[in-house]
Amino acid sequence: MELLGGSIVVIAALGFVCYPLIRWREPGAGGQVDAEDGLAARRRAIYQEMIDLDLDHRVGKLDDADYQQLYQTCLARAAALLAQADAQATQAEERVEREVAAMREALRATGRATVAGRRSR
């Protein structure tokens, strides 16, 4: 009975430790990760890394110079990620504007054809 209880505790502990590692590698729907989800996941990873750096610095694992260097690296990665997200948002907005302009032009063309058809009657 003690062996069974100990086995359950060990399995639960292994599951708790291994779950984030397994979940981290799961592909998105259909094996591809949506670009926005990928950026969000990378952003969360950078924020978590910065939190971990702060904690390591506070408990003395990192000296000031190493902390500053690693923190600045994280900030640079975060800035690059924000720039990438902004570029993607701009591209999406431009695509929507082109689609709206095309739809307006199609409606104008349809309207002209309808007006011309009414005049000829």
pLDDT for the residue 28: 47
pLDDT for the residue 24: 55
**Mean pLDDT, to the nearest integer, of 6-27?**
70
Q: Cβ(55)–Cβ(2) under 8 Å?
A: no
Please provide the average confidence, as pLDDT, over all residues in the chain. Answer: 81
**Mean pLDDT, to the nearest integer, of 58-65?**
93
pTM for this entry:
0.52
**Mean pLDDT, to the nearest integer, of 36-53?**
88
**Mean pLDDT, to the nearest integer, of 20-41?**
61
pLDDT for the residue 20: 67
Pick 93 or 116 by higher pLDDT. 93
Secondary structure (3-state) at 26: coil
